[in-house]
Structure 1
Amino acid sequence: MDIVTTLIVDDHPIVRQGIAQVIRQEKLASLVLEASNLQSALQLFSAHRPELVIVDLALGDEDGRNVIRSIRALNKETHILVLSMHDERDNAEDCLRDGADGYVMKQVATEQLADAIRRLQRGEIALSSVMQSAIFRGRKDAMSEGTRTVASLSDKEREILRLLGQGMSSSQIAETLHRSVKTIEAHRATLRGKLGLKTAVELIRFAALWSKQR
């Protein structure tokens, strides 16, 4: 998904300005919006429908996870990137479960933040390799039932699952299979239903682990 508009949700103006500067310098969005709390974030989201929301977990007296849940309830396709001071090992999986697509520490270099946003654009999960490995290890026990379900998928659905597991976006899969992006998105929705997965992130995570174990 191309990112035209980005919403930054952080209660520190200087942090918002720094993130906005990176996005503009790297030409990662045409319009950058800023919010300091859940209420203003939801107002801006409803008015502009940004393709990317970057949210801090600590928003003064508010919990950034409420922003994640609220945005995800409004739109299933918007990219949500958590930018936090808290160690990803303690929070990343909970945020992914809430609907986030990535988790980046605030201490990362500018290049790493830009790379995380580009990974989301490609339809990938934006996590460090260490965190991805930890999550995948924790999910292995849940794979057996899912693997049995995969066996009941059509050949086309398994092919799309395989390509998702390789990190391809919907547009890349559409080009590879000579189908429209709309058709691939429909298949992805069907896959989520058949595999009992609630979000696009869960589908990508399942596809990546399934591909590794084949």
Structure 2
Amino acid sequence: MTSSATIMMVDDHPLFRKGLKQLFAMEPSLELVAEASSGEEALELAKQHEPDLILLDLNMRGMDGLDTLRAMRAADVASRIVILTVSDNNADVVSCIRAGADGYLLKDMEPEDILDQVIQATHGKLAISQRLTEILASALRKPDNSGADTLSTLTSREYQILQLIADGLSNKLIARELDISDATVKVHVKHLLKKLGMRSRVEAAVWMVNQKRPESHQDRAH
């Protein structure tokens, strides 16, 4: 039997946390290990518990979700972090993904859909509300450089890894798929993000999904 994925939720509304707790209690593959009502508390608990997934509200009093997200990434918190908020503001979505969020969900989704997306996220998949995908794709299109030109700067291995990121695979799964170490995948991801001028793997995944994959690259990926 596989072990449960551990989750921490960060939200300054006790009633919403209670609702989520009840939702997760119905799902044996998820285990809630911590809850925080502020960014400062969340940062401490994230380091203490090292949960598989952190669900983070954006509009919190004091240290908001975006600042908390940046602080967690700066502190090398390796957990997957998914924003769960009421804001479908384009700028918020793009800022969070660029700051290293692994997904962006809206609180007005059906509870079953939130649960489904959370489970997907624990498996390394991209968790994003459907209506935000197009917003994100448009915002991440870079008019100053064509996709083909940018992709041509990648090595065959980097391109291969970028395709697997776009398919929603985590570093661990990519390492298994390509029979290389997690550390090697990490190095490749760092290099390809730098070449693409992007700051997060989710940003790269959404961008890649919207590219026409050039023939020359598929030929040279052998």
Q: Report the Cα offset of residue 90 of structure 1.
A: 5.7
Name the structure 2 match of 1:11: 12
Gapped runs of 5+ residues in structure 1?
Answer: none
Counterpart residue number, 1:59: 60
Q: Where does 1:30-69 land on structure 2 (aligned, <5 Å)?
A: 30-69=31-70
Verify the 8 A CA contact 2:164 2:174 in the aligned structure 1. Answer: yes
Alignment RMSD: 2.6
Distance 2:198 2:64 in 1: 25
- Percent identity for Structure 1 against Structure 2: 31
Which string of whole-angstrom CA distances, capped at 9 and with x for unpartnered residues, describes residues 119-139 of structure 1? 323333322233112221233
Q: How does 1:89-100 map to 2 (within 5 A)?
A: 89=90, 91-100=92-101
Partner SS state of residue 141, structure 1? coil
Q: 1:189, 1:116 → 2: CA distance?
A: 26
Give the equivalent residue in structure 2 for 1:188. 189
| 1:54-83 superposed Cα distances (whole Å, 9 cap, x missing partner) | 111222344222111111212263211111
Q: Structure 1's 58 and 138: CA in aligned 2 closer, same or farther, altered over 3 A?
A: closer
Residue 9 of structure 1 aligns with an amino acid whose one-letter code is V
Map of 1:103 onto structure 2: 104
Partner of 1:58: helix, strand, or coil?
Answer: coil
* Alignment-mate amino acid for residue 18 of structure 2: Q
Partner Cα distance (1:147, 1:50) in 2 = 38
- SS of equivalent to 2:127: coil
Q: Which has the higher mean CA deviation after the structures are superposed, 5-14 or 76-85?
A: 76-85
* Equivalences, count: 212
**Does structure 2 retain, via aligned residues, the 8 Å contact 1:88–1:131?**
no
Other structure's SS at 1:124 match? coil
Taking the TM superposition and a 5 Å limit, the aligned residue runs for 1:1-214 are 4-75=5-76, 77-89=78-90, 91-142=92-143, 144=145, 147-210=148-211, 212-214=212-214
- Pair 1:42–1:177, CA change in 2 (3 A): closer
Deviations 1:23-66 (A, max 9, x none): 23213433420111122112212222222111112223442221
Give the drift of 1:97.
Answer: 2.2
Moved more, 201-210 or 64-73: 201-210
Mapped to 2, the partners of 1:107 and 1:209 lie a distance apart of 26
Inter-CA distance 124–25: structure 2 relative to 1 (3 Å threshold): same
Deviation at 1:10, TM superposition (A): 1.0
Query: Which residue identity is paired with 1:108?
Result: M
What secondary structure, in the 3-state scheme, does the structure 2 residue paired with 1:43 have? Answer: helix
